[in-house]
Amino acid sequence: MAKTTTDHDEIRRWAENHGGKPAVVRSTHDEGKEGGGRSGRSRKTGVGLLRLMFPKARQSHHDELEEIGWEAFFKQFEEAKLALLYEEDSNFNKLVGRETAEKRDHGDNKAARH
């Protein structure tokens, strides 16, 4: 059965116990590089789309993911008002909006962030 949490220590413990690391989708990450756009600078802002990656999992391909630090991960996690939906005994996880998590906790299994 899946659990939901916003507790940073619980998230980090669970991820690290499963070999997980904080990551961002590379195409959404602002690396501070110049290029693109009229001004010659990237228009992307912030960390980008967050993920937890599991480099040692055979079925995982991480070409699109870039590892980031926990501090940057949790800063964006809080700014985006996210929660982690996860299964304790597997690598299953999903970052969802806190409103969505709350609705699902109250039985609305079709709840989603719009």
In this predicted model, what pLDDT tens digit does every residue of 57-86 receive, in sequence order?
A: 766 666 788 899 999 999 999 999 999 999
Q: Determine the residue type at 17.
A: N
Q: Which residues contact 11 (CB under 8 A, 6 or more apart)?
A: 5, 77, 84
**Strands ordered across the beta sheet of 50-53:** 50-53, 21-25, 65-67
What is the number of domains present in the chain?
A: 1
Whether residue 111 lies inside any domain: the answer is no
Residue 110 lies in a domain: no
Question: Residue 109 domain-assigned?
Answer: no
Strand partners, 22: 52
How high is the pLDDT of residue 42? Answer: 42
pTM given for the model? 0.73
- Containing structural domain, residue 12: 3-33+42-104
Average pLDDT, the chain: 79
How many whole angstroms separate alpha carbon 9 and alpha carbon 1? 20
Nearest to 50 by CA among 36, 64, 33: 64
User: Which token pair is 103?
Assistant: 């609705």
Helix, strand, coil % in the chain, rounded to nearest 5: 25, 25, 50
Average pLDDT estimate for 5-16:
97
